[in-house]
């Protein structure tokens, strides 16, 4: 009896492990890049936090850490850190971050996708960081977000990142 219970338990564990494997890294990247483009073209989420001059939507599970640099915020979700950079002087149609990526000879771009929609320019890119990690980058105009990630949930991370980036609004000072 114990042996049959053990075999049944082992089968359940094996099935659960195989089901968790899901998509390959390539599939996650392809899905994530395509989904991020869709998010870019949708109506941005309404900001739910204001940090300094930056209004942004922070999805559930994320926490924002202010930094001394007014152009950078660190967002955390679990043990993952995301760097949000806001260039106040770049317009929505700016492709500065994309040009910097493309002109960096050390960038090992695995996949990239640019998008122009309603006067705004953006892109999603995945680069090889090292043998086991990837740098995920999304940008909209002068706003860019990046993180270093292993091969898990890349598609979901890119969607969350683009959702955040597209929501960023700069608080205008009243004179």
- 59, 163 Cβ separation under 8 angstroms: yes
Measured CA distances, 88 to 81, 118, 127 (Å): 22, 20, 25
> Which of 163, 112, 172 minimizes the C-alpha distance to 140?
163
Pick the CATH number of 23-170 from 2.60.120, 3.30.70, 2.60.40, 3.40.50: 2.60.120
pLDDT at 173 over 80: no
pLDDT in tens, 1-38: 444 433 444 333 333 333 445 889 999 999 999 999 99
**Phi, psi for residue 27 in degrees, rounded to 5:** -65, -40
Q: What is the DSSP string of 33-51?
A: HHHHHHHHHSPPPPP-EEE
pTM equals 0.84
pLDDT category of residue 65 using cuts at 50, 70 and 90: confident
Task: Name, in order, each residue with C-beta under 8 angstroms of 95's C-beta and a sequence gap of 6 or more.
Answer: 114, 121, 123
pLDDT of residue 28: 95
pLDDT tens digits for 78-117? 999 999 999 989 999 999 999 999 999 999 999 999 999 9
Give 68 or 84, the one with higher predicted confidence: 84
**What is the structure's pLDDT at 21?**
57
Q: Judge contact between 162 and 38, C-beta under 8 A.
A: no
pLDDT of residue 174: 58
Question: How much is the pLDDT for 79?
Answer: 92
């Amino acid at each position: 009896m114990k042996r049959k219970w053990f075999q049944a338990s082992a089968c359940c564990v094996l099935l659960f492990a195989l089901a968790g494997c899901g998509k390959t890294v390539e599939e996650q990247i392809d899905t994530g890049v395509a989904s991020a483009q869709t998010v870019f073209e949708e109506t941005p989420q309404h900001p739910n936090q204001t940090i300094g001059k930056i209004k942004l939507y922070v999805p559930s599970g994320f926490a924002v850490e202010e930094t001394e640099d007014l152009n950078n915020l660190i967002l955390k979700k679990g043990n993952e850190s995301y760097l949000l950079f806001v260039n106040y002087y770049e317009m929505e149609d700016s492709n500065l971050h994309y040009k910097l990526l493309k002109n960096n000879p050390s960038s090992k771009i695995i996949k990239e996708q640019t998008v122009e929609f309603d006067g705004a320019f953006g892109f999603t890119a995945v680069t090889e960081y090292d043998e086991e990690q990837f740098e995920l980058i999304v940008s909209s105009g002068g706003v860019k977000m990046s993180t270093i990630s292993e091969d898990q949930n890349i598609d979901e991370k890119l969607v969350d990142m683009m959702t955040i980036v597209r929501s960023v609004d700069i608080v205008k000072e009243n004179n």
